[in-house]
């Protein structure tokens, strides 16, 4: 009985101490415990977001400081060994700046940049840069935050808004994707910051996709007003080109598909089915006008059968009238 009691009390005290270390003892102690446990694993098995890819490398001390956002330590190490600021791990070619952006360590990212870290170093196999990552959602973002602060920070330190993603042949992110294309749906302020920072709004991916086409594709039949903002901003406000065709990207093609079929941005507008006279409808009509200015007649396009079926369900009594106006 006494042995069982001591065992229960030991477990209880262990849990209490663990809770204290995690909630009161701070990130530093928790991270060092995790680092010790992780050291027993082969480094080659780690994913990009795991700080242990830097274990047993010259950058390990700096990596720990970045992880814990100890900015004074980062500055001290950078002054002593400035070459470590751009150190790339051997597996991915990942820099600590990219890691800091991906793991939302803003203070570390800012300090690295202030100390001279290069904002344009890309990973070895995919060509991912800190700005490409910042334009998207971070590795740990579960709330789909749209704050542009990382985009603005990187741009202020010389990040190239037109440096493209290389990727792999069957990657879901297409070869040639730009930070601007990545930003669609991830925060309109990110999109605006990139354009204001020098992003070429008409740059194309390998298949011919552009930020404007991506923005048109982002809006569906049930989309909200705010999801239309990307297309409106790029096409109406910034006059992005919408009169050129594109192809299906390689990653969506299946055996038997014709890779040479041409698609046109204007057809994507047919998927937009906002309520007539709503703010969304007014935005769509202004986009239609810009298409017309560029020589593309929206009203001559074919309405897809599935869209007609959706409209019949939404407007069962006046769907024919809706088709004439939408």
Which pLDDT band, with edges at 50, 70 and 90, does 173 fall under? confident
Number of domains, the chain: 2
| Domain-embedded: residue 185 | no
| Domain-embedded: residue 32 | no
* CA 135/CA 189 separation, integer angstroms: 10
- Using one digit for the tens of pLDDT, what is the confidence trace for 281-320? 999 999 999 999 999 999 999 999 999 999 999 999 999 9
In this structure, the answer to whether residues 249 and 164 fall within a common structural domain is: no
In this structure, the answer to whether residues 263 and 304 fall within a common structural domain is: yes
In this structure, the answer to whether residues 162 and 210 fall within a common structural domain is: no
Report the pLDDT averaged over residues 14-20. 47
Q: Contact, 284 vs 225, CB < 8 A?
A: no
| Domain-embedded: residue 89 | yes
Does the structure show a pLDDT above 70 at 94? yes
Q: Residue 16 has what pLDDT?
A: 46
| Domain-embedded: residue 25 | no
* CA 311/CA 3 separation, integer angstroms: 72
In this structure, the answer to whether residues 207 and 311 fall within a common structural domain is: yes
Q: Residue 250 has what pLDDT?
A: 82
Does the structure show a pLDDT above 90 at 140? yes
In this structure, the answer to whether residues 57 and 119 fall within a common structural domain is: yes
DSSP 201-243: TT---TT---HHHHHHHH--TT--GGGGHHHIIIIIIS----S
Output the average pLDDT for the chain. 87
- Using one digit for the tens of pLDDT, what is the confidence trace for 184-206? 999 999 999 999 999 999 999 99
Q: Which of 205, 195, 260 is nearest to 229 (CA)?
A: 195
Does the structure show a pLDDT above 90 at 66? yes
* CA 119/CA 112 separation, integer angstroms: 9
* CA 41/CA 39 separation, integer angstroms: 5
- What's the per-residue H, E or C state across 63-104? HHHHHHCCHHHHHHHHHHCHHHHHCCCCCCCCCHHHHHHHCC
Q: Which of 31, 20, 117 is nearest to 68 (CA)?
A: 31
* CA 139/CA 142 separation, integer angstroms: 9
Instruction: Please name the residue ranges forming H helices in 81-178.
Output: 96-102, 106-114, 130-135, 149-156
In this structure, the answer to whether residues 58 and 161 fall within a common structural domain is: yes
* CA end-to-end distance (rounded Å), the chain: 78
Report the pLDDT averaged over residues 84-112. 97
* CA 317/CA 297 separation, integer angstroms: 28
Which pLDDT band, with edges at 50, 70 and 90, does 269 fall under? very high
Q: Which two tokens stand for residue 288?
A: 């239609």
Identify the H or E element spanning 282. Answer: helix 279-293
| Domain-embedded: residue 40 | no
Q: Which residues pair with 246 in a beta bridge?
A: 263
Q: Which residues pair with 263 in a beta bridge?
A: 246
Identify the H or E element spanning 46. Answer: none
Could you tell me the CA-to-CA distances from 312 to 240, 308, 320 in Å, in that order?
33, 6, 8
DSSP 8-state symbol, 260? T
Q: Contact, 163 vs 138, CB < 8 A?
A: no
Q: Residue 251 has what pLDDT?
A: 79
Report the pLDDT averaged over residues 207-214. 97
Report the pLDDT averaged over residues 154-174. 86
Residue 101, domain extent:
53-168
Q: Residue 15 has what pLDDT?
A: 45
Backbone angles phi, psi at 13, to 5 degrees: -65, -35
CATH of the domain at 101: 1.25.40.20
| Domain-embedded: residue 58 | yes
pTM of the model: 0.84
Q: Give the count of beta carbons closer than 10 Å to the beta carbon of residue 55.
A: 18
In this structure, the answer to whether residues 63 and 146 fall within a common structural domain is: yes
Q: Which of 101, 110, 99 is nearest to 59 (CA)?
A: 99
Q: Which two tokens stand for residue 227?
A: 């999801």
């Amino acid at each position: 009985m006494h042995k069982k009691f001591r065992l229960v009390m030991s477990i209880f005290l262990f849990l209490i101490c663990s809770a204290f270390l995690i909630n009161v003892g701070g990130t530093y102690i928790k991270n060092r415990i995790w680092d010790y446990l992780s050291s027993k694993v082969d480094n080659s098995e780690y994913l990009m977001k795991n700080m242990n890819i830097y274990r047993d490398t010259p950058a390990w001390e700096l990596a720990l400081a970045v992880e814990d956002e100890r900015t004074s330590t980062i500055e001290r190490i950078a002054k002593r060994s400035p070459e470590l600021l751009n150190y790339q791990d051997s597996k991915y070619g990942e820099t600590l700046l990219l890691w800091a952006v991906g793991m939302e360590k803003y203070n570390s990212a800012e300090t690295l940049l202030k100390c001279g870290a290069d904002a344009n170093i890309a990973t070895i196999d995919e060509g991912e840069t800190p700005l490409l990552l910042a334009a998207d959602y971070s590795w740990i973002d579960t709330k789909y935050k749209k704050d542009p602060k990382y985009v603005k920070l990187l741009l202020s330190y010389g990040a190239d808004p037109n440096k493209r993603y290389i990727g792999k042949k069957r990657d879901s992110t297409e070869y040639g994707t730009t930070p601007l294309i990545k930003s669609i749906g991830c925060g309109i302020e990110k999109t605006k910051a990139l354009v204001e920072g020098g992003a070429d709004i008409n740059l194309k991916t390998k298949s011919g996709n552009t930020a404007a086409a991506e923005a048109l594709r982002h809006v569906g039949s049930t989309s909200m007003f705010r999801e239309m903002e990307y297309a409106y901003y790029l096409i109406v406000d910034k006059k992005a080109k919408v009169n050129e065709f594109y192809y299906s990207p390689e990653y969506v093609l299946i055996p038997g598909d014709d890779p040479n079929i041409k698609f046109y941005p204007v057809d994507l507008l047919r998927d937009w089915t906002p309520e007539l006279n709503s703010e969304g409808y007014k935005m769509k009509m202004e986009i239609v006008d810009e298409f017309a200015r560029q020589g593309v007649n929206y009203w001559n396009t074919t309405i897809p059968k599935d869209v007609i079926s959706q409209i019949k369900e939404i407007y069962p009594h006046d769907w024919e009238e809706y088709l004439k106006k939408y």
